[in-house]
Structure 1
Amino acid sequence: MIFIANKTYEVVVDHKNGWKPDAFKERFSEVLERYDYIVGDWGYNQLRMRGFFKDSHPKATKESMIATFQDYLNEYCNFGCAYFIIEKVPSKHQPNQQPTDDVESEEREIGVAAGLEQPEVLAQDQQEDSLPPQAPTPRQQRQHHQRKSYSNKHQNHQSNHPKPS
């Protein structure tokens, strides 16, 4: 049993000795508290963690259900990596948590907790969401023009060559 942030967890899978309690406590983020399961995987000697819901959870999306854990492991983790799965154990001392309505915000927070996104970038994204749309900056216009001209050149290049039979 693991006790952290007034929650109780139990290790249900410890693949290749992936469970390291000290590393878990060091990397744990309160963002992960809302999930029923926490998966930790090791790559390049760094622990990455992601939360999953029980399949029956009302806010669970296909990607956040524990049933899709194997897909996550295959797509996002190093082949043959050490990993662990811990499950939140309901206790009499823990109040039942209500699921939150802001799934997009949860996914952003997951990315930060897992080290996939930078918090300052998220703050900027959230700020931009509340602002009215603005005209593109000169830099954005140049980038758009460069992508467009590359696309046109690429299409012209392909059309100049006959297709093989």
Structure 2
Amino acid sequence: MTEVLFYHLQNMALESVLPPLLEKSLERGWRVVVQSTSEERADALDAHLWTYRDDSFLPHATWRVADAADQPIILAIEEGNPNRAQVRFLVDSAAVPADADGYERMVLVFNGDDADALAAARAAWTDCKARGFTATYWQTDERGRWQRKN
């Protein structure tokens, strides 16, 4: 059964949250697809993941590379699972894919300060519950640590 985690960003940017979440996924031995909604955004995330921290290396590529199947993290803009990922991150209001049940985990990261993103997340929550997925909601506490909310 696919588990769907909804990460509610408030007063923080995706660029500060995504790299640590991707690192945790790799530590668990998972392959990942990160789906955004435009080539420009995927390219910006690609550039950011190479430079987000001086002392870190986060192996990844975009869907355009010939060896996408061998990459631990793929940045994509469409449905599909080119690297046989167990986890799919959905950012920038990317829709829950039709093949969502093929993943162990889906992570929907949304900007709570954006009314459209909030509405899209609510619609995705309803869709996930209707499809029988286990959905959980996460927010940061006053110290910036992720906490599961009921």
> TM-score if structure 1 supplies the norm length?
0.25
Larger radius of gyration: 1
> TM-score if structure 2 supplies the norm length?
0.27
Higher strand share: 2
